Chain A
């Protein structure tokens, strides 16, 4: 049993503390916007924020997230008002299948927090998620647009 704070809400999760945070988010908190892609921190589909920093939740145990603020894709918009990164994603029609996009958006939000006006090189270094549909051109455009918003 552990207590997590997800999107500002306190959630009891009935799991072994070694359970990856990803599965507590998906199967205990019921928030399925955060995706399973690889389980070994390669693809980034499971990216969430832990105290504002992007992490790959498939390799972070629940025990390491206790007492910290966890933000998932569901917690990004303020009610019905999209976060500026989501808005840029909508304007640039970034997603194709969309499965990797929650992780991609969470990575972009974290990048813009540390680099409010990122260069292309910053984006190359900061966005390491896999997208098999190949949305990278639109991701780059949308990050630049969000930086200007």
Chain B
């Protein structure tokens, strides 16, 4: 029924329209229907989420951004489930942020981070589909002069039961669009879902196989120029001077312009010409006081926080200090996690065209509304004179959500060349050294064991950066950044999975001049390593099996325990395994329960082969299991690349790593076999893109300890001479 292959150019409407520079014009009120809102091609909008064309094509609006994670297809499944449409006739389009403003955010939040694409919009997008279905059925019933209750809809066909008459959505769409939407619609019981839960094929694969898909970096506009940019290598520094005359005569060069007070750009006919000239451009920087900062000074500052008196408390019960003081056995360990760049495959870019009364931006973004805000701010124009067109992303991972520094730059350049579209593309070197980095964090963990090896007290002191302080300070709670504690919270979407009689989890905030940002999983990455490796340390100190040690602490956390048990069972925990050693980890993040069991073999003491990782997730509902499997495996590539080979170090105030030669990423040969157990238990909606990333690293570290007896507590592993093979 729903297995028909998708058509080739599902996104061509968006890309094609953007490519000629006119942009999307969704929701125009063209006066040839009574109160009918129409798509650009004149087809009627039934609800904001559903447009039906006369040929029965169903256009589903997607507000969140597709960046490879499959959200576009998943959201379309949700709408189509309730719409009862023919899945083979479904196509999608992005509404623009400008239209969202004009229509009072009818599509809700555009933000596509925090694994929220589906879990935060599942209800209203399903209602958008259900409301449209009710209106289409009513329109058919009206035409036939029969009660709507005698009609049913399936596969885009409406049937009048008693007479057997049939019509299609395309035929009644015009009439349906004129009806008043019902105030309340009843959504299906999950047990009746036919499309949600099925591994239907993605809607957006074909164009990625032929070179046809247009990413931001590929955009072409008539008369467009290309810009390359260099921002001050030291964060917070400024441009002192540059000698434009030295490069003005180079091939293709049209303009050499300042960008804000910290950057300079060369604008040329082609990007290669722009970059060549930029590399030859003499620039003098005012690096400012941050030029004295190094990784060593940052580490010292964080270290001082491990024993500082003041710290923000997030999770506390009992009296941990008394428990530790009274314990017959005390275990202590200090861990540290480095800065990381996102290193999306497509470097940052944006294209802008500015005139005195209009500013348009084409940008690969995880949040069209945030890109729009950056556009209005940089252009100085009111919202009704700005528009943003979302272009396909070559990866996001958090870099393209809250931050649109590249949009600001593109607009500031375009403002200096009014009427000419300018595409700004960062070099990989610019991208690597001007990120919004995974925050640095250290942790001191102290555990108290009684004579029987029971954990009676646990203190986890975090010391390091706060993303929220840097990015959304209005969200701080009495100065505390709750995001820092992801996975260690007392309850909620990031609930700690252990019951410890005396517990304290607190954070000594230590911020740096290196700008922190959201990153795939972000704070669960280090928190899972800190907590799950330390649990392993405690189990060994207690002389107990790491699984049994955890189980005793998890009886009040049955969903956490269920995923842990699932991976242990599948991996054969406790059974002999020739040549491999196993490690476990579990966490709750973004509303989902996740666990992993890693199997590694180690040769020569430092050559680590991750042979297999069994991963389980309970996301509540699994909309498209095949895509969830891909997110699990993909998250491990991102997480294990970081664990083994990635860090951004600071010297003289700047990031030292410049490209993939010194910020490496896993390759095919290093890919472990990943087995996924998707076990949705229903009743809640958890995320998919990020949660699993955090369990890979601690599971591998615990397996490495099982193999070698060595605990590694600072990262990446390459700094210890340990290689992933």
Query: Contact residues of A with B, CB < 8 Å?
Result: 15-16, 19-20, 23, 26-28, 30-40, 42-43, 45, 72-74, 76-77, 82, 86, 89-90, 93-102, 105, 123-125, 127-140
* Residues of chain A lying within 8 A (CB to CB) of residue B397: 132
Given contact pairs A34-B211, A93-B626, A138-B630, A23 touches B271 in the complex (Cβ within 8 A): yes
Interface residues of B in 592-641 (CB under 8 A from A): 626, 630, 633-638, 641
Answer whether residue B451 sits at the interface, using C-beta atoms and an 8 A cutoff.
no
* Residues of chain A lying within 8 A (CB to CB) of residue B207: 98
**Are B68 and A36 in touch, CB under 8 angstroms?**
no
Closest 9 CB pairs of A and B: A33-B211, A134-B637, A99-B394, A98-B208, A97-B68, A96-B68, A134-B634, A124-B669, A32-B218
Q: Which residue of B lies closest to A105 (CB)?
A: B209
Residue of B207, B211, B428 with most partner-chain A CB within 10 A:
B211
Can you list 25 contacts pairing A with B, beta carbon distance less than 8 Å? A15-B272, A16-B251, A20-B272, A32-B218, A36-B217, A40-B661, A42-B661, A93-B630, A96-B70, A98-B207, A99-B395, A100-B345, A100-B394, A124-B668, A124-B669, A128-B667, A128-B668, A129-B667, A130-B660, A131-B345, A131-B637, A132-B637, A133-B345, A134-B633, A137-B673
**Are A97 and B630 in touch, CB under 8 angstroms?**
no
Q: How far is the CA of A26 from the CA of B212 in the complex (A)?
A: 13
Answer whether residue B215 sits at the interface, using C-beta atoms and an 8 A cutoff.
yes
Q: Within the complex, what minimum Cβ distance (angstroms) separates B224 from chain A?
A: 11
Report which of B209, B218, B346, B673 forms a contact with A95, defined as CB distance below 8 A.
B209
**Are B213 and A98 in touch, CB under 8 angstroms?**
yes
Report which of A82, A132, A139 forms a contact with B343, defined as CB distance below 8 A.
A132
Query: Contact residues of B with A, CB < 8 Å?
Result: 5, 67-70, 201-202, 204-215, 217-218, 220, 226, 251, 270-272, 343-347, 392-397, 425, 427-428, 626, 630, 633-638, 641, 659-661, 665-669, 671, 673-674
* Residues of chain A lying within 8 A (CB to CB) of residue B271: 23, 27
Main SS class of interface, B = loop
* Residues of chain A lying within 8 A (CB to CB) of residue B671: 136-137, 140
Report which of B5, B634, B674 forms a contact with A96, defined as CB distance below 8 A.
B634
* Residues of chain B lying within 8 A (CB to CB) of residue A35: 215, 217, 345-346, 394
Report which of A37, A123, A134 forms a contact with B428, defined as CB distance below 8 A.
A37
**Are B665 and A95 in touch, CB under 8 angstroms?**
no
Q: Within the complex, what minimum Cβ distance (angstroms) separates B6 from chain A?
A: 9
* Residues of chain A lying within 8 A (CB to CB) of residue B69: 96
**Are B395 and A97 in touch, CB under 8 angstroms?**
yes
Q: How far is the CA of A35 from the CA of B270 in the complex (A)?
A: 15
**Are A86 and B393 in touch, CB under 8 angstroms?**
no
* Residues of chain B lying within 8 A (CB to CB) of residue A45: 345
* Residues of chain B lying within 8 A (CB to CB) of residue A127: 667-668
Q: How far is the CA of A132 from the CA of B212 in the complex (A)?
A: 20
**Are A132 and B345 in touch, CB under 8 angstroms?**
yes
Q: Within the complex, what minimum Cβ distance (angstroms) separates B196 from chain A?
A: 18
Report which of A32, A128, A132 forms a contact with B211, defined as CB distance below 8 A.
A32
Given contact pairs A32-B214, A40-B660, A102-B211, A132 touches B344 in the complex (Cβ within 8 A): yes
Q: Which residue of B lies closest to A37 (CB)?
A: B345
* Residues of chain A lying within 8 A (CB to CB) of residue B5: 90
**Are B205 and A77 in touch, CB under 8 angstroms?**
no
Q: Which residue of B lies closest to A72 (CB)?
A: B211
Q: How far is the CA of A137 from the CA of B615 in the complex (A)?
A: 15
* Residues of chain B lying within 8 A (CB to CB) of residue A72: 211
* Residues of chain A lying within 8 A (CB to CB) of residue B204: 98
**Are B660 and A42 in touch, CB under 8 angstroms?**
yes
Residue of B220, B343, B634, B638 with most partner-chain A CB within 10 A:
B634
**Are B345 and A97 in touch, CB under 8 angstroms?**
yes
Given contact pairs A134-B638, A135-B634, A74 touches B210 in the complex (Cβ within 8 A): yes
Report which of B212, B394, B661 forms a contact with A33, defined as CB distance below 8 A.
B212
Question: Knowing that A16-B251, A19-B272, A136-B666 are A-B contacts, what are 19 other residue pairs whose CB atoms are under 8 Å apart, sorted by A's residue number?
Answer: A15-B272, A20-B272, A23-B272, A35-B215, A36-B217, A36-B347, A73-B210, A82-B209, A89-B205, A95-B205, A95-B209, A96-B70, A96-B630, A97-B392, A98-B68, A131-B345, A132-B641, A134-B638, A137-B633
Q: Within the complex, what minimum Cβ distance (angstroms) separates A94 from chain B?
A: 8
* Residues of chain A lying within 8 A (CB to CB) of residue B665: 43, 130, 132
Q: How far is the CA of A75 from the CA of B465 in the complex (A)?
A: 48
Q: Within the complex, what minimum Cβ distance (angstroms) separates B695 from chain A?
A: 15
**Are B630 and A99 in touch, CB under 8 angstroms?**
no
**Are B213 and A125 in touch, CB under 8 angstroms?**
no
* Residues of chain B lying within 8 A (CB to CB) of residue A133: 68, 345, 395, 634, 637
Q: How far is the CA of A77 from the CA of B393 in the complex (A)?
A: 24
Q: How far is the CA of A82 from the CA of B210 in the complex (A)?
A: 8
Given contact pairs A32-B214, A35-B217, A37-B345, A90 touches B667 in the complex (Cβ within 8 A): no
* Residues of chain A lying within 8 A (CB to CB) of residue B635: 134
* Residues of chain B lying within 8 A (CB to CB) of residue A99: 215, 344-346, 394-395
Q: How far is the CA of A45 from the CA of B69 in the complex (A)?
A: 19
**Are B208 and A95 in touch, CB under 8 angstroms?**
yes
Report which of A30, A101, A124 forms a contact with B208, defined as CB distance below 8 A.
A101
Q: Within the complex, what minimum Cβ distance (angstroms) separates A33 from chain B?
A: 2
Report which of B212, B425, B659, B669 forms a contact with A38, defined as CB distance below 8 A.
B659
Q: Which residue of B lies closest to A124 (CB)?
A: B669
